Copies of this chain bind each other. A is one copy, B any other.
Amino acid sequence: MKKFFVTLSACLFAAVAVNAQELANWNWAGQQAKTEVTADGVIFRLSAPYATVVKVNPSWTQSVEMTKGEKGVWEAKVALPAPEIYTYSFTVDGVNMSDASNLDLQRDGTRYMSMLIIPGERSAHYDDVVENHGDLHQVWYDSPTLGIERRLFVYTPHGYTDKANAKKKYPVLYLLHGAGGDEDAWSSMGRTCQIMDHLIANGEAEPMLVVMPNGNATQRAAQTLGLPQAQISREQAGQMSYTNSIVKDIVPYIEANYRVYKDKAHRAVAGLSMGGGHTATVSRDFPGTFDYVGVYSGAVGSLKDREGNVNQDTVNKLKAQQKAGYKLYWIACGNTDFLYQQNLEYMKGLDEIGFEYTWFESEGGHTWDNWRMYLDTFAPMLFK
């Protein structure tokens, strides 16, 4: 299996790479830009004969001014970053644009960015598998808690529709995005389908469903659909009602419509940033619902207020969660994340009440490279 992925990465590398001959004969009129990954760098090229200043903005380093060459083709070589997924854009005479010649366009909230995978061990699970894909369902469910119809995405693993598995039941991971994201975030920027396809094909993770809802209570769905914001009443508003809707609306919808187990041993919840806060909240508000909890760069904090008084309600809920039992409470954060200190304070609070957790400290900050890696690390620990 290892060999298979190495070969796949090599193919990908070959697909991205462009040989010199091809470039020499390249009809720039037919393609606006071309990006080449070499052994020691990434070469960006953009056809812009009438532009005055052209920059490339790679996500892994500072913007670089490109140099105008023959036929008005601008070029810049940037040092090769470590294997991961990166994004980039061009700035042409002050105007920012994605790469019109790169089909791999990612949306992060309200911004589109061109995507680039640098192949290697860390990114081995981020490209598409050639076969044994799971499916992605964009489905609408009623949310009585919020009083609206809403959309969520469901990943079902390869084999789910096989006749041989017609009576097989699956566990479920509920996977929550951060502020500014929506139900599309984990499957696009987060590469959930690719990561799960690889992990399951490798036998590293149990086949499971992954449910990706929309964490902004007033949104019916991603803003790309242009739907009007929902008018949520004051009682319905706030994070509390969204996290309630996870257990009261979403879990029942999934358990009624998919072949899944309906007990805490087969339910996990995880989320990033705001979704990490949602994860902590929903798992303690509904003790006995989730056996696996993953707080990624979570919007969590001290269990005490500014005057140093313990938030007794939260503590009581955590104690109820403790009593109901769970198998894994995994807290992950990068050591340059702006929420790093808050996560340390949160764990201090958990320590004081003897609430068990597993701490996973990584390099880096509040970014998708960490969240993809956290999912890739967390999913193999579930349902075993």
**Residues on A facing B (Cβ under 8 Å):** 11-12, 15, 32, 46-53, 72, 90, 92-98, 100, 103-105, 107, 110-112, 127-128, 130-140, 148-149, 151, 158, 161, 163, 220, 223-228, 256-257
Contact = CB atoms under 8 A, between A and B. Distances in A.
B105 A110 contact: no
A71 to B, nearest CB: 12
A12 B226 CA distance: 8
Contact of A135 (B92, B128, B137, B227): B137
Contacts of A52: 50, 52, 93
Nearest to A47: B95
Contacts of A158: 140
Contact of A161 (B51, B100, B131, B257): B257
Given A32-B96, A93-B48, A256 B224 contact: no
A111 B100 CA distance: 7
A135 B131 contact: no
Residue picked from A138, A149, A151, most chain B C-beta under 10 Å: A138
Contacts of A149: 131-133
A290 B36 CA distance: 48
24 contacts: A12-B226, A47-B95, A48-B93, A49-B94, A50-B94, A51-B93, A51-B94, A72-B94, A92-B97, A96-B100, A97-B97, A97-B98, A104-B224, A105-B105, A105-B112, A105-B224, A128-B225, A130-B228, A131-B149, A133-B151, A135-B140, A137-B137, A140-B158, A163-B256
Contacts of A224: 103-105
Nearest to A32: B96
B140 A137 contact: no
A132 to B, nearest CB: 7
A104 B226 contact: yes
Residue picked from A72, A223, A228, A257, most chain B C-beta under 10 Å: A228
A46 B95 contact: yes
Contacts of A90: 95
A209 B127 CA distance: 30
Closest 6 A/B residue pairs (Cβ): A50-B94, A97-B97, A135-B139, A133-B140, A51-B93, A136-B138
Nearest to A117: B226
Contacts of A107: 103
B127 A100 contact: no
Given A48-B94, A134-B140, 17 more contacts: A50-B52, A51-B94, A52-B52, A52-B93, A72-B94, A90-B95, A92-B93, A98-B98, A98-B100, A103-B224, A105-B224, A128-B227, A133-B140, A133-B151, A135-B137, A135-B138, A137-B139
B138 A50 contact: no
A93 B96 contact: no
A131 B151 CA distance: 10
Contact of A48 (B15, B95, B134, B135): B95
Nearest to A142: B131
A130 B227 contact: yes
Contacts of A132: 149
Given A138-B137, A138-B138, A226 B94 contact: no
A296 B228 CA distance: 34
A4 to B, nearest CB: 13
A256 B166 CA distance: 11
Contact of A223 (B103, B220, B223): B103
B228 A50 contact: no
Contacts of A138: 135-138
A159 to B, nearest CB: 11
